[in-house]
Amino acid sequence: MAVVLVGGEGTRLRPLTYTTPKPLLPICNRPFLERQLLWLASSGVDEVVLSMGYLPDAFKQRFPDDRFGEIQIRYAVEDEPLGTGGAIRFAAEGATGTFLVCNGDVLTDLDIRELLKVHEAAAAEATIALTQVEDPSAFGVVPTAEDGRVLAFVVKPPPGLAPTDWINAGTYVLEPSMLERIPTGVTASVERETFPRTLESGGALYAVQSDAFWLDIGVPRQFLDAQEFVLDGVLGFPPAPGAREQGEGIWVQGDVDVDPTARLAPPVLLGDGSVIGADVAVKRSVLGPGCRVREAASVVGSVLLDGAQVGARSAITDSIVGSGAEVQAGASIGEVTVVGAGAVVEAGTAMLGARVLPPGVDEAAT
Ligand code: GTP
């Protein structure tokens, strides 16, 4: 059994997450969560509890039969956000055997079986996957002994003062006894409270250093990077369900309509029903199903979600255009601008690093 934590509001990916919870946002035209379920299934997981709070109905609609392939899905819906620790306790209450927990916003192919092997061999109460990053100062840093025993938890160490550059990768193997270490009725963070307290009280905590691919998709820049990594085959090929390679690094799903004068520079993924007009340039980008890019526009290093529309002579650079959103003629957006679902960037506007809210969302009220 695996608990996948999908209850966060994903504030750093706003305005996209006002309408779609982070785990259901697509990475190369497949909801991120489905990629994560495939990863879990490949390690033999056949039961997943989605630990949710924010926009729970969106998940239930996505899996109407409570199944994804071989995986049986259960839902644990919190009335109030319980934090990562509280959420684990709530979702896994009553578990009788070893179980997995993973954050619902990390794209990885780390080796779950290896994690389970170490956990078992060490008779650990919890075993944490670690990944190595260049700058650990924004993360939970986990120094370990030679045999993998966790020595400390250091949260967001000042730059240059981290004891190691191995950080908590957000994937854990837990014994049911860990649940009793999490208080009920209050919010609790597993990484900041439960694990450090378990260590203080002498619990057997182990960690496994993994050099597998690992990327937190929870900020717009990394959400864009994730698309390109997947396009480049980090999770294997094809990069999206049913995609066919029509030229080197040019992937197409279903039927698309590309004007012969359009230039496509790899890697590119075009979703079913996308329409690309004359003299358009598309480079290092993903277009969701039903997107339309009109003549002489350019889309570079960007992601258009399903049904997004780009007007003539517009320039979209390193940006994300939400579902059904519209960038009108002659507008230019860049430097990780994020356009919410259904939002409109007016003709001729120029925006850098902007957030464009979906209609009806009042940021001051959230
Ligand atoms: P930000 O608001 O941008 O920080 O994103 P987030 O809300 O997802 O928070 P964060 O990235 O710290 O959360 C890590 C993982 O835990 C994500 O997969 C979240 O969905 C999940 N998560 C965070 N808080 C809760 C919670 O209270 N309940 C549940 N069920 N999951 C949570």
Note the pLDDT tens digit of each residue in 233-282.
Answer: 999 999 999 999 999 999 999 999 999 999 999 999 999 999 999 999 99
The finding on whether 140 has its CB within 6 A of some atom of ligand 1 is no
- Mean pLDDT across the stretch 159-178? 94
For residue 363, pLDDT over 80 is answered with no
Choose one of 3, 5, 89 to mutate for the ligand 1 pocket test, by most ligand atoms within 8 angstroms of C-beta.
5
Render pLDDT for 59-84 as a digit per residue (tens, 0 to 9): 999 999 999 999 999 999 999 889 99
In the chain, pLDDT over 90 holds for what percent of residues?
Answer: 94
The finding on whether 87 has its CB within 6 A of some atom of ligand 1 is yes
Choose one of 20, 103, 194, 222 to mutate for the ligand 1 pocket test, by most ligand atoms within 8 angstroms of C-beta.
103
Residue 283: per-residue pLDDT: 98
Render pLDDT for 310-339 as a digit per residue (tens, 0 to 9): 999 999 999 999 999 999 999 999 999 999
CATH number of 221-365: 2.160.10.10
For residue 38, pLDDT over 90 is answered with yes
Residue 308: per-residue pLDDT: 98
Domain 2-218: homologous superfamily in CATH: Spore Coat Polysaccharide Biosynthesis Protein SpsA; Chain A (3.90.550.10)
Q: What is the mean pLDDT of the chain?
A: 95
Residue 364: per-residue pLDDT: 67
Choose one of 36, 74, 84, 184 to mutate for the ligand 1 pocket test, by most ligand atoms within 8 angstroms of C-beta.
84
Take residue 280 and report the two structure tokens written for it. 């358009």
Residue span(s) of the chain under CATH 2.160.10.10 come to 221-365
Residue 365: per-residue pLDDT: 63
Distance CA 213, CA 119 (A): 21
Residue span(s) of the chain under CATH 3.90.550.10 come to 2-218
Which ligand 1 atom is nearest residue 187's CA? 27
| Minimal-distance CA residue to ligand 1 atom 31 | 7
pTM assigned to the model? 0.94
Ligand 1 centroid, distance to 7 Cα (angstroms): 6
Largest CA distance in the chain: 67
- Mean pLDDT across the stretch 45-60? 95
